Structure 1
Amino acid sequence: MSVRTVRYYVFLKDILTLSITAFGGPQAFLAMLLERMVKKRGYIKEEELWELNALCNMLPGPSSTQLVSAIGFRVGGPNLAYLALFVWILPATTLMVSAAFLIDFLQENTPGALNFARFIQPMAIGFIIFAAQKTISKMVKTTEAMILMLISAFVSFFYSSPYVFPIMLILGGLSTSIKYKNQPKAEEEKPLKIKWSNFYLWIGVLIAAALSGAITKYQPVLLFENFYRNGSLIFGGGQVLVPYLYTEFVDFKHFLNSEEFLTGYAISQGIPGPTFSIASYIGALSMREFGMSGFIIGGMIGAAGIFLPGIFLIFFVIRFWDQLKLYRPVRAALEGINAVSCGMLIAAAYLLFEPLEANGLNIFFILGTYALLQFSKISSPIIISGGIVLGILVGHFFG
């Protein structure tokens, strides 16, 4: 076995370790990457890690997954990067597909089975409010960005169509890109040298999926197109994914109800690995009519559709990123894109609360969850586990 093969094996083993221990959100994940990938193994330098993280946060798609794949790309090229992607998403995807099957089985066979989730549904909204607060404080820095965020939230309240979101993102980016002269000048901008293969792959799959779905009307193909389109348009991480998927799969397609969606979202906050794995849960429930094979195929479609576009894009951009980041209009556009994403988060909290009964108990668990996340060091899995246990106990003793 060559030294290179051993190094790649160790790298994938490290990714697997991260995939089953990465609790605590993006900040904890970055700290684990810094400790294991930089300080312990020396796969990349610390400066490279922060730069790659910034790049992934500027692209649509799952930023943590893109970061893992980008490191794999730097270490061993595209083949290792794709293997790293598979190893990283497998545990969370498996858990979320299993959760979808279990929840559907309990609902079919045990009346009131989702009593265990009676508290984690409002708790999920607490998680979203906390994520919105953290994201807004980081991304919204100017008056213009604040106005864009409020406009985005207003539009998302009243026009919750999945086709409105990409239009708002584009308009938000254009509206701030015209202020590029406010951006500090970098070193001299040079003509870009771009290799277009991964971009063609990304757009080719998007067009092929859309055409295939329109022609065949075959549900697995339609599902893949839905997830792939969402994965191609979502800036801001897993929390921004929520309003997209809720609007498309609950409000419009009715593949699952709000109770099932909130339960799945809460579970995704309590497991390690990428939060985009909720797509596997939604895909599995969307194919439940096909039995066990439907759960598995739907989960695989959800994972492939949501993760692949971000990977194609990071492989495309990483090759010329050092040149692209010098262009001031590119940096200026991110202000508007991020502000619009924050507005969608505000709308998501409202849209997810709307189906719940507006009683004091739900309000208490929403605010209590937010307070625990904001003011204590209790981890997300422990908070979610506590909500599940409390739901089981209340259901047992009080029906």
Structure 2
Amino acid sequence: MAVKRIRYFIFIKDVMSLALTAFGGPQAHIAMFIKIMVEKRGYITEEELIELNALCQILPGPTSTQTVTAIGYRIGGANLAYLTLLVWMIPAVSIMTTAAILINSYQTKNLSLEFTRFIQPMAVGFISYGAFTIAKKVINTKTAIILMILSAVVTYFITTPAALPIVLVVAGSITAFKYKKQEMAIKEKIKIKWGNFTLWALVLVAAALLGALTQDRFVLLFENFYRNGSLIFGGGQVLIPFLNTEFVEFKGYLSSEEFLSGLAMVQTVPGPVFSVSSFVGALSVRDLGIGGQILAGFISACGIFLPGTFLIFFIIRFWDSLKTYRVVRASLEGINAASSGMVAAAAFILFEPIQGSVMDVSVVLGTFLLLTLTKIPPPLIILGGLLAGFLI
């Protein structure tokens, strides 16, 4: 028992180290997981880690967060996994909540935010790069190209939150009919333990009912993020159109400028990109004071992270059997294509409020080219933009 506790303590210490140093999003995170979790500690084999990461990529929720919590689950069960989730998300969530409080404080005191003038077009450059990166990976057929374009058009013109999950479901259903093109596999009988799925569904329904009955802003905030966290396929970049539609276009809790500032700032923060939710949540209740903003930041983060955690714990038990079904693998083509289109549409939607001057367009293109053609870390690119804002 004592040996297990020491092992758990060392694992949590490693997770904290990663939470403070893992810049660059899921692609960079997986490399660090291999270095520390596989090569240094041997918590899991490289093959197991890669498969876990692949599974998390096709589930709704934050990929790197689900991967690290799934490792915790395999080592020490649900209790260690939930502790892993907290340790992994708290540094980034704390930083982004603080950033929201500081931005609101600046605006309340009528202090100039002119030094952030380049951050907003840079954020559009990051989103454009995200759309380009996703498209390169998942758009391999004519069907996927068509679904990506249709998804982008629908997302651009229909700004109601309900439209996004419908687009994902329809796109996945369309490509599911192409299942015969998938390689045959020996089907295994699926033995399902419904506990974590039931927990996910109960929280979803309870939050919706409680929010509707009480109209409490914190409950509604949790429900908004929990619902979105249950629908995000494709990682942090796909989260952007969902949050923009829900909190900027539909509810008007944030301005486009504030939203873009948060998206840019999260690029400079280690840990999960989904921590931008705490920035959005904190600004959504700015009238409730600093205490309310801190609580909202934490509640929003819990809402966005918990669905993916529940679902990975649910499906990891029978994934080996499920992936033998060709229709499941075929539907992923449509889901990924639709996600790519959503991110592309988000880049256009979020560029519209910007002045659109030659300078702004140049910053967007320059950021995109730096990300595409160089290996400069994103935090350095953002810091360079802030420095330019001070100097110019």
1:84 corresponds in structure 2 to 84
AA in 1 matched with 2:115: F
Q: Which of these residues, 266, 275, 279, is aligned with residue 281 of structure 1?
A: 279
Aligned counterparts, 1:136-285, within 5 A: 136-186=135-185, 188-285=186-283
Check whether the contact 2:159–2:250 (CA below 8 A) recurs between aligned residues: no
Please tell me the root mean square deviation across aligned C-alpha atoms, in Å. Answer: 0.9
Whole-Å separation in 2 of the counterparts to 1:236 and 1:19: 21
| TM superposition shift of 1:312 | 0.3
Does residue 70 of structure 2 align to residue 70 of structure 1? yes
1:38-60 CA-to-partner distances (Å, cap 9, x unmatched) read 01100000100110001000100
Q: Distance in 1 between matches of 2:115 and 2:70?
A: 39
Determine the C-alpha separation between the residues in 1 that align with 2:219 and 2:28: 36
Aligned to 2:334: 336
User: TM-score if structure 2 supplies the norm length?
Assistant: 0.99
Output the CA distance in 2 between the equivalents of 1:275 and 1:25. Answer: 6
* One of 294, 304, 307 as aligned partner of 2:305: 307
Per the TM alignment, residue 322 of structure 1 is displaced from its structure 2 partner at its CA by 1.0
Cα distance in 1 for partners of 2:225, 2:187 equals 36
Cα distance, 1:284 vs structure 2: 0.5
Partner of 2:129: 130
Contact between 2:19 and 2:89, CA under 8 Å: does it hold in 1?
A: yes
Q: Secondary structure at the match of 2:230?
A: helix
Structure 1 residue 35 displacement after superposition: 0.7
Distance 2:373 2:267 in 1: 18
Which whole-Å CA distance do the structure 1 matches of 2:353 and 2:96 have between them?
23
1:39 aligned residue: 39
1:94 aligns with 2:94: yes
Instruction: After TM superposition, give the deviation of residue 190 of structure 1 in Å.
Output: 2.2
The CA distance in 2 between the partners of 1:392 and 1:110, in whole Å, is 17
Rounded to whole Å, the distance in 2 between the matches of 1:59 and 1:184 is 21
Distance 1:221 1:26 in 2: 29
**Corresponding residue to 1:371 among 363, 369, 380:** 369
1:218 CA displacement: 1.3
Residue pair 2:121, 2:351 contacting (<8 A) in 1 also: yes
Shift of 1:110: 3.4
Q: Name the structure 2 match of 1:397.
A: none
- Give unmatched runs, 5+ long, in structure 2: none
Q: Distance in 1 between matches of 2:303 and 2:3?
A: 35
Instruction: Name the aligned partner's letter for residue 89 of structure 2.
Output: I
In structure 1, what is the Cα distance between the partners aligned to 2:178 and 2:324? 15
Looking at structure 2, the residues matched to 272 and 369 of structure 1 have their Cα atoms a distance apart, in angstroms, of 20
Q: How far, CA to CA, are the matches of 1:26 and 1:375 in structure 2?
A: 19
The reply to whether residue 360 of structure 1 matches residue 343 of structure 2 is: no
Post-superposition offset of 1:161 = 1.2
The residue aligned with 1:30 is 30
Deviations 1:148-194 (A, max 9, x none): 101101111111211000001111111011111110012x2122100
Task: Supply the distance in 1 between the matched residues of 2:32 and 2:138 (Cα, whole angstroms).
Answer: 23
**Matched residues in 2 for 1:303 and 1:25: separation?**
17
Cα offsets for 1:249-291 (capped at 9, x unmatched):
0111111111111001100011110000000001111111110
In 2: Cα distance, 1:61 partner to 1:28 partner? 17
Cα deviation digits, residues 105-144 of structure 1 (max 9, x gap)? 0111133x21121001000000011111111000111110
Q: Give 3-state SS (helix, strand or coil) of 1:194's partner.
A: coil
Instruction: Look up the equivalent residue of 1:261 and give its one-letter code.
Output: F
Provide TM-score, normalisation by structure 1: 0.97
CA offsets 1:304-356 (integer angstroms, 9 cap, x no match): 10000000000000011111111111100100000000110110000000111
Distance 2:238 2:99 in 1: 22
User: What secondary structure does 1:200 align onto?
Assistant: helix
The correspondence of residues 377-388 of structure 1 with structure 2, limited to 5 A, is 377-388=375-386
User: Counterpart of 2:56?
Assistant: 56
CA distance in 1, matches of 2:385, 2:172: 39
Deviation for aligned residue 1:393: 2.0
Aligned length: 392
State the distance in 1 between where 2:4 and 2:209 align.
42
Tell me by how many angstroms 1:27 deviates.
2.1
Contact 2:222–2:302 under 8 Å retained in 1 = yes
For the 8 Å contact 2:26–2:63, the answer to whether it is kept is no
Q: Which amino acid aligns with 2:291?
A: S
Query: What residue identity is the alignment partner of 1:27?
Result: Q
- Displacement of 1:215: 1.3
Which stretches of structure 1, 4 residues or more, deviate above 4 A after TM superposition? none
**Letter aligned with residue 315 of structure 1:** F
Counterparts of 2:220 and 2:27 in 1: how far apart (Å)? 35
How far apart are residue 26 of structure 1 and its match? 2.1
Identity %: 57
Letter in 1 for 2:207: A
| Match of residue 7 from structure 2 | 7
2:256 aligned partner, one-letter code = S
Deviation at 1:25, TM superposition (A): 2.4
> Partner amino acid for 1:359?
S
Match of 1:16 in 2: 16
Q: Which amino acid aligns with 1:175?
A: I
Cα distance in 1 for partners of 2:188, 2:272 equals: 36
CA distance in 1, matches of 2:391, 2:160: 39
Counterparts of 1:23 and 1:300 in 2: how far apart (Å)? 21
CA distance in 2, matches of 1:185, 1:40: 37
